[in-house]
Structure 1
Amino acid sequence: MTAKEIMTTPALTAGPETPLETIAELMLTHRISGVPIVDSEDRLLGIVTESDLIEEERRTQHLPRLSLFGLALVREGTVKDAYLASHQFIAREVMTKKVFTVHPDTPVTEIAGLLVQERINRVPVVAEGKVVGIISRADLVRALHRSALL
């Protein structure tokens, strides 16, 4: 069994200028944990994962605050500016640029090893430099289960 037999196609992708809010909505709507970032010709530039979004949110939790008798108070006039500044990031600013990929003819056993060894949840399938599909851990488990039933 190979990648082309189990991959989800077409892969849901986004461009490098896509706002993170849009990417988060895609992930939630489609129940996926990562979105490959591609250029106008579908060439892979990076990937935005749940971990990237969580890390960005953690990193930007810097709203100016004052404390009074143990109560956290947010300074007037800075809340809106700080919130907007921390929520206007785009994909290219937070995407993981080192992305593991597989070819459509890559054996499923090799893909399983890659996901486990590199501790990743999904891998884009790339042919001739373009993203043609994606394989998640769920896709892999589904395929292994299906093959065990045959």
Structure 2
Amino acid sequence: MYGTPHIVGDVMTRTVAAVAGHAAFKEIVRLMRDRKVSALPVLDGEGRVVGVVSEADLLPKEEFRDSDPDRYTQLRRRCDLAKAGGLTAEDLMTSPALTTRPDVTLARAARAMAHARVKRLPVVDDRGALAGIVSRADLLKVFQRGDDEIAEEVRREVVTQLFPGPDSAIRVQVHDGVVTLAGRVRDRSLIPVAARLARAVEGVVDVDFALDGHRSPGRVDLSAGRVGPVGPGDRGPGEQ
């Protein structure tokens, strides 16, 4: 639907490999190999996600297998040393798990992944039960939207809302996800707003302007409401 941001439920993988808390170390390794994944949600007896076990959680067992850590390492890497002695998913997992919901927008899920520096998020329902998993690659699926589809949404949700009626004549062109708004506009103070709204459309890579005969690619000052390069003569009172 136009104007509705894509949500996690649109792109997530619904068939997910998972393990119980009592799953043994080698069972976890075999499942990761067979399913070609680098992490597995850990479930309790009712199917709720209680943690995630990843390759990073398994590696300490090999790293410290034949070593005798010094005092500094024991203090600095206490968690890794504990995982080196882990035997089950419950011992090894990172808990509580960072999860998301099917109705969360892709932008919000992307921010959560970036902040936590993780490659995927288990998706849970209202009960906390596993419903799917969403990865970085899944979030990039929005950029597979066609240029025509993006252009139509920009026309409906940006141009029609900000520049209605005969007062403005704005043309929308999209090439490889880059939106160009061209034509004449009476109220140029709306251009930064148009930039924000157009960039918020799923699949948009960048926004360019060719308004009132002035082309301004990538030069929208969103904070000050200006279009074009900001030079020395553009500084306001008190600005350095």
TM-score interval, smaller chain: 0.7 to 0.9
Q: Which residue of 2 aligns with 1:99?
A: 97
Contact 2:86 2:92 in 1 (8 A): no
Which one of 55, 60, 69 corresponds to residue 60 of structure 2? Answer: 55
Q: Which residue of 2 aligns with 1:131?
A: 130
Q: TM-score, normalised by structure 1?
A: 0.76
Contact 1:19 1:88 in 2 (8 A): no
Contact 2:120 2:135 in 1 (8 A): yes
**C-alpha RMSD of the superposition:** 2.1
Structure 1: runs of 5 or more not aligned: 65-85
Question: Across the two proteins, how many residue pairs are aligned to each other?
Answer: 127
User: Hey, what's the Cα distance between the residues in 2 that align with 1:144 and 1:50?
Assistant: 28
Question: Percent of aligned pairs with the same residue?
Answer: 28
Q: Secondary structure at the match of 1:125?
A: strand
Contact 1:21 1:87 in 2 (8 A): no
Q: What are the Cα deviations for residues 3-23 of structure 1, in whole angstroms up to 9, with x where unaligned?
A: 111111122111001112111
Q: Secondary structure at the match of 1:102?
A: coil
Query: For the structure 1 residues 105 and 54, does the alpha-carbon distance in structure 2 shift closer, same or farther, using more than 3 Å as the test?
Result: same
User: Hey, what's the Cα distance between the residues in 2 that align with 1:144 and 1:53?
Assistant: 33
Contact 1:56 1:94 in 2 (8 A): no
User: Hey, what's the Cα distance between the residues in 1 that align with 2:46 and 2:118?
Assistant: 25
More RCO (CA 8 Å, sep 6+): 1
Q: Which has the larger radius of gyration?
A: 2
